[in-house]
Amino acid sequence: QVQLVESGGGLVQPGGSLRLSCAASGSIFSIAAMGWYRQAPGKQRELVAAITTGGSTDYADSVKGRFSISEDNAKNTVYLQMNSLKPEDTGVCYCCAQSGAWSWGQGTQVAVSS
């Protein structure tokens, strides 16, 4: 079983930046991929970015060129650097890990508003 703890959310003005962190613990050796999902108010949860243990990355079209996912294996942590934030990026961001089963963090709120 994998436990995930997110941090780094907050309120930022349009055009600003935030970096989210997701620290993994437990059966981390079994993780094949990790990612970030976002759930905007009244909408379904959607994939924002993902990274495999081999370092391959994938992004939603809406964030390409603005967001970057990375990992620090020594710290068992995945990061999501979010630049040029827009109001439509507002939502709760969830970290997830695929290790046979899916594990989810508790979520961190991102609000983009002037």
**Per-position DSSP letters for 48-80, written without gaps between them:** EEEEETT--EEE-GGGTTTEEEEEETTTTEEEE
Whole-number mean pLDDT of the chain? 95
Pairing of strands 33-39, 46-52: antiparallel
60 pLDDT more than 90? yes
Residue 111 has pLDDT above 90, yes or no: yes
pLDDT of residue 100: 86
Average pLDDT for 20-37: 94
Residue 73 predicted with pLDDT over 90: no
Please give the structure tokens belonging to residue 73: 């294996």
Q: What is the pLDDT of residue 69?
A: 98
Phi, psi at 29, each rounded to 5°: -65, -20
Task: Calculate the CA 8 to chain-centre distance.
Answer: 10
Average pLDDT (83-108) is 96
